[in-house]
């Protein structure tokens, strides 16, 4: 398979991204070619720095960068020769099957949606974040691509999230739930109540509404919500986890005895840190597009980029998009009698 | 001041609630009277069990209970003599100024809104939860009273939350933010964008949009959102915190050396547990009603009930409602030119 990496736009500059891609190439022999898109001199310097002469690498020059500060749609209109647009076009033109970008999330969503187009039958792409929990990993989507959703969008997220959990993460009959303000069927807002009615008719292991309490207690494998709620939940979890560890560290270093205890137990903290390590995935797939797109963390360093490349190739290897197309077509049949676009349940 | 406690509806039965109230009476001498509302025999038995003969206690019999399983509005219509309605009526009739109930949250919200009515100028009451963070405590509202909000509701939550933070928690010029999917002014959905425009015109220390990342990093003291989002955020945080400690415990008990380390450092875990202790507040105020209402946790035991009674009396002592009325009236003037009811920004 051939992939494209937008090396610009990350927080740490193109050198780090180039180096991360080289790491991925070293282990992923099934990658036949990589287009590195961005400013040619910066990419060449990056390759030189790490002594990379992999013949699979091809540089595609782009003179502009969509920065984190650019407003996505306005920025893309102004910067016609920015790296993310060039990168997206390579997939659109069939020169590559997959794309990784650590850039402006809104920019990646907008550029890939406009140029690559959603898969046949999919209305809106969604960002699927894999969240670690004590007993399982759950997929949360949409984590921010689509802030104003209609029920049919949530139903399609349910389908795509379920397939990602099953095909890529290896869960059998993943439990799919709609995130709501209570588990009872009547709980929810107009949007979730409408989505609930649609999801019940789909060929999913749909367990109904789930609430915040269910997320980290192994009751659900795919958590469906609109991009506003998903983004708030994702960032709140990141903030709380960081806060708890910061708190714990302060408490554990408050006295010499506690320090000694923490040192003896250091393996436990390390092990937990490993499980919660965001770099282990390095990014989140943007599901529902004609191509496999992964949005790497803006703050991604080498290892995170390397892992983002890996998870992107996994989506291609498992033919995720073919499965999504089949499932969405089946769903459209199942929902034929439904006023699917209407927000009213 | 005189208060009412609905002793029915909690998970642990009326005895636990009665005992918690007795604890509160022992320390809060400024409480002049307490109505205990519920099944007379159960309350009498509860008082006998703990040997309470406090002359401030008066029993008000109610033959029915709105259970956790009852649908709020339907349940209240069927069970005319349920304890929560009797309790609410005592406040409505001016016999008491404050109410504590560990019962069905939706039931408490519905009963008190219908009978006690919102404060002059307030459209919807909101549940204000005080969340502990490493460097501060922040107020999150609405945590579930009002699932379908309009911008003016969020603006009123901003006012009420700010006053709660200032008057009751003691924060000076508390930082008020609207929870959104990014901190930029343009981020948000129709609802939050509309609320943003209103809040800018109010006499608040309004810091604009906040995102999940800001919650536990001392950047905001009052987090405003609709009841759907607030409920999801609250429960997700509870679930994640529980998950992290469960994880940590498993790791810390995995080897004898780690166990020894954890034992040495036990003070750190205890101290953190104390800070995260939900029973320290015991419940959440339902702001914006003609009376001080606190919804105690359904799972509240004696200490939680005792603390819920205490925080209720604090709201009365600080004349929170008078301040809310004044501020809402001033806000109405400031927003006179706004189409405040419209969801479009």
List pLDDT tens digits, range A38-47.
999 999 999 9
Residue from A239, A249, A259 to probe the interface with B (highest B Cβ count within 10 Å):
A239
For residues A136 and A107, state if they share a domain: no
List pLDDT tens digits, range B191-230.
999 999 999 999 999 999 999 999 999 999 999 999 999 9
- Interchain proximity A241–B244, CB inside 8 Å: yes
Tokens linked to A198 = 């649609």
Measured between beta carbons, the chain B residues lying within 8 angstroms of A235 are: 211-213
Residue A210 resides in a domain: yes
**Of B98, B14, B81, which Cα lies nearest the Cα of B314?**
B98
Alpha carbon distance, N-terminus to C-terminus of chain B = 43
Residue B299's pLDDT band (boundaries 50, 70, 90)? confident
Residue B82's pLDDT band (boundaries 50, 70, 90)? very high
Measured between beta carbons, the chain A residues lying within 8 angstroms of B180 are: 228, 232
Residue B339's pLDDT band (boundaries 50, 70, 90)? low
Residue A26 resides in a domain: yes
Measured between beta carbons, the chain B residues lying within 8 angstroms of A148 are: 189-190
* Residue A206 CB-half CA count within 13 A: 23
For residues A133 and A255, state if they share a domain: yes
Domain's final residue, options A62, A85, A116: A116
* Reduced 3-state DSSP string for chain A: CEEEEECCCCCCCHHHHHHHHHHHHHHCCCCCEEEEEECHHHHHHHHHHCCCCCCCEEEEECCECCCCCCCHHHHHHHCCCEHHHHHHHHHHCCCCCEEEECCCHHHHHHHHHHHHCECCCCCCCEECEEEECCCCEEEEECCCCCCCCCHHHHHHHHHHHHHHHHHHCCCCCCEEEEECCCCCCCCCCHHHHHHHHHHCCCCCEEEEEECHHHCCCCCCCEEECCHHHHHHHHHHHHHHHHHHHHHHHHHHCCCHHHHHHHHHCHHHHHHHHHHCCHHHCCEEEEECECCEEEEECCCCCHHHHHHHHHHHHHHHHCCHHHHHHHHHHHHHHHCCCCCCCCCCC
For residues A231 and A332, state if they share a domain: yes
Tokens linked to B232 = 């999801």
For residues A220 and A246, state if they share a domain: yes
Residue A304 resides in a domain: no
For residues A135 and A221, state if they share a domain: yes
A217, B170 Cβ separation under 8 angstroms: no
Residue with the two structure tokens 């008491």: B96
For residues A144 and A83, state if they share a domain: no
Measured between beta carbons, the chain B residues lying within 8 angstroms of A258 are: 264-265, 267-268
Residue from B145, B186, B268 to probe the interface with A (highest A Cβ count within 10 Å):
B268
For residues A332 and A246, state if they share a domain: yes
Beta carbons within 8 Å of B175's beta carbon, 6+ residues apart: B205, B207, B219, B220, B221, B222
pLDDT for A100 beyond 80: yes
Residue B29 resides in a domain: no
For residues A193 and A327, state if they share a domain: yes
Q: What is the mean pLDDT of residues B80-106?
A: 94
Euclidean distance between CA atoms B62 and B82, whole angstroms = 6
List pLDDT tens digits, range A203-258.
999 999 999 999 999 999 999 999 999 999 999 999 999 998 888 999 999 999 99
CATH number of B223's domain: 3.40.718.10
For residues A157 and A39, state if they share a domain: no
Please give the tally of structural domains in chain A: 2
For residues A101 and A214, state if they share a domain: no
Residue A267 resides in a domain: yes
- Interchain proximity B213–A261, CB inside 8 Å: no
Measured between beta carbons, the chain A residues lying within 8 angstroms of B74 are: none
pLDDT for A69 beyond 90: no
Averaged confidence pLDDT in chain B: 93
| Least CB–CB distance from B268: residue in A192, A229, A254 | A254
Q: What is the mean pLDDT of residues A23-42?
A: 95
Backbone angles phi, psi at B123, to 5 degrees: -85, -40
Q: What is the mean pLDDT of residues B56-79?
A: 91
| Least CB–CB distance from B133: residue in A148, A186, A243 | A243
For residues A178 and A206, state if they share a domain: yes
Domain's final residue, options A57, A84, A116: A116
Q: What is the percentage of chain A residues whose pLDDT exceeds 70?
A: 98
Distance from CA of B224 to the nearest CA of A (A): 12
Domain's final residue, options A92, A116, A140: A116
Burial of B277 (0-12, 13-18, 19+ CB in 10 A): middle
| Least CB–CB distance from B261: residue in A242, A251, A264 | A264
| Cα A301–chain centre separation | 17
Euclidean distance between CA atoms A96 and A76, whole angstroms = 21
Residue A269 resides in a domain: yes
Residue B274 resides in a domain: yes
User: Beta strand pairing status for A283-287 and A292-296?
Assistant: antiparallel
E strands, B75-136, in order: 98-101, 126-127, 129-132
Distance from CA of B187 to the nearest CA of A (A): 9
For residues A136 and A234, state if they share a domain: yes
Residue A312 resides in a domain: no
Provide the residue range defining the domain that includes B270: 128-279+320-345
- pLDDT score recorded for residue B116: 94
B125, B109 Cβ separation under 8 angstroms: yes
């Amino acid at each position: 398979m051939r992939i494209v990496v937008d090396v610009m736009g990350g927080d740490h500059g193109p050198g780090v991204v180039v180096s991360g891609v080289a790491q991925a190439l070293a282990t992923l022999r099934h990658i036949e070619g990589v287009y590195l898109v961005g400013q040619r001199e910066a990419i060449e310097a990056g390759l030189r720095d790490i002594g990379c002469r992999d013949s699979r690498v091809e540089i595609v020059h782009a003179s502009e960068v969509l920065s984190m500060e650019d407003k996505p749609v306005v920025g893309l209109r102004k910067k016609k020769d920015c790296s993310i647009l060039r990168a997206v076009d390579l997939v659109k033109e069939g020169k590559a099957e997959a794309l990784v970008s650590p850039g402006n999330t809104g920019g990646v969503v907008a550029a890939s949606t406009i140029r690559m187009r959603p898969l046949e039958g999919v209305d809106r792409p969604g960002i699927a974040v894999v969240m670690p929990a004590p007993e399982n990993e759950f997929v949360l989507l949409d984590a921010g691509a689509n802030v104003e959703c209609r029920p049919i969008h949530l139903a399609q997220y349910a389908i795509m999230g379920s397939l990602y959990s099953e095909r890529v993460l290896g869960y059998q009959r993943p439990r799919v739930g709609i995130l709501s303000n209570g588990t009872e069927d009547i709980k929810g807002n107009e949007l979730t109540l409408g989505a609930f009615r649609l999801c019940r008719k789909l060929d999913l292991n749909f367990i109904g509404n789930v609430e915040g309490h269910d997320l980290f207690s192994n009751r659900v494998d795919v958590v469906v919500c609109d991009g506003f709620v998903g983004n708030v939940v994702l960032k709140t979890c990141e903030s709380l986890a960081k806060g708890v560890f910061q708190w714990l560290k302060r408490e554990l270093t408050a006295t010499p005895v506690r320090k000694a205890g923490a040192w003896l137990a250091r393996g436990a903290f390390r092990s937990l840190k490993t499980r919660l390590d965001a770099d282990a995935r390095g990014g989140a797939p943007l599901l529902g597009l004609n191509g496999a797109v992964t949005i790497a963390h803006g703050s991604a360093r080498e290892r995170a980029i390397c892992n983002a490349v890996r998870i992107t190739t996994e989506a291609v290897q498992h033919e995720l998009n073919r499965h999504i197309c089949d499932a969405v077509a089946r769903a459209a049949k199942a929902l034929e009698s439904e006023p699917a676009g209407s927000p009213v349940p």
